[in-house]
Amino acid sequence: MGISNAGSHAGAVRGPGNPAQPVPGVGMADMFGFRIIRQYEQGIVFRFGQALPGVRKPGLIWINPFTSRLAKVNMQIAVANVPAQETITRDNVTLKVDAVVYYRVVDPLKALINVQNYHFAVSQVTQTSLRAVTGRSNMDQLLSDREHVNAELKDVIDAPTEGPWGIRVERVEVKDISLPESMKRSMSRQAEAERERRARIIAADGEYQASKKLAQAATVMAADPAALQLRLLQTVVEVAAEKNSTLVMPFPVELLRFFDRAALPTTPAVTPADAEDEATTLPPATPAALPASPPASTASAAAITALNGAPTTGAAN
């Protein structure tokens, strides 16, 4: 039993929409062994199942349609999403980390022969490497040092893929890190405590600097008492302006200054010139006559009389 119009469908390439509808022109080129390789592709020719050396470049090529087959490899950069991996960090924190990996084929022959499905293989290697790298890192390192983690991931993934499989990993990025709710609350409390500590340190530093300036101002005011009085009046004006109140002072400041000056001893300083003038104007000092001392008998009688409280009878010879 024959097939009608079998000659017209010989060597035809079926389209994706209708299996019975041939693509015009392509089937005839394939029958004669002509192949087209696009700009972003490279081709590997298999003859009797064995790969021929060399890579076919983009353009129109010819192969033996009876003994050879052409396999095309896409050389564009491929993007693969890595599913979220639940890992435990080195400091025993449970995290969920997902990433994205960018890779491309650098050796089409190895990508076709050494691995069956290099897309699936790269995805599996990326997942296992992501769990291994995050398990060796601390939580703070994963959150703050993304560049180091991404570089380490690239090196770990690129080691088993580029040499044996001909796949080069161009870039690896950690997309999201999911933390438990308890850890989020702990981190928020830690951040709040850190901000409070910084605020107290800044306030204490301000008080220290203000105290130094106040000490310098006190030294200047002590040298000139009028400055202290002016400062007091300025403070009174500021307080009255803020509160809109009246200040009553029990006694004026000038009275305090008067008492302060009265308490200080006022001894005029004598200069050498004044001392010399006084020495020239004063007459020479004369020795004063000393009173004659009474006789010893009379002094003894007076002492005895004072002790007894009555005069003595008789006189001493």
HEC sequence for the chain: CCCCCCCCCCCCCECCCCCCCECCCHHHHHHCCEEEECCCEEEEEEECCEECCCCECCEEEECCCCCEEEEEEECCCEEEEEEEEEEECCCCCEEEEEEEEEEEECCHHHHHHCCCCHHHHHHHHHHHHHHHHHHCCCHHHHHHCHHHHHHHHHHHHHHHHHHHHCEEEEEEEEEEEECCHHHHHHHHHHHHHHHHHHHHHHHHHHHHHHHHHHHHHHHHHHHCHHHHHHHHHHHHHHHHHHHCCCCCCCCCHHHHHHHHHHHCCCCCCCCHHHHHHHHHHCCCCCCCCCCCCCCHHHHHHHHHHHHHCCCCCCCCC
Is residue 305 a part of any domain in this protein?
A: no
Q: Based on the domain organization, do 124 and 160 belong to the same domain?
A: yes
Q: Based on the domain organization, do 246 and 155 belong to the same domain?
A: no
Say if residue 28's pLDDT is above 70.
Answer: no
pLDDT in tens, 113-124: 888 888 999 999
Q: Of the candidates 181, 211, 229, which is a domain's last residue?
A: 181
Q: Based on the domain organization, do 54 and 88 belong to the same domain?
A: no
Domain residues for the domain of 67 are 27-74
pLDDT in tens, 128-187: 998 888 888 888 888 888 888 888 888 888 888 888 889 999 898 888 888 888 888 888
Is residue 195 a part of any domain in this protein?
A: no
Q: Based on the domain organization, do 62 and 111 belong to the same domain?
A: no
Say if residue 39's pLDDT is above 80.
Answer: yes
Q: Based on the domain organization, do 105 and 171 belong to the same domain?
A: yes
Number of domains in the chain: 3
Is residue 288 a part of any domain in this protein?
A: no
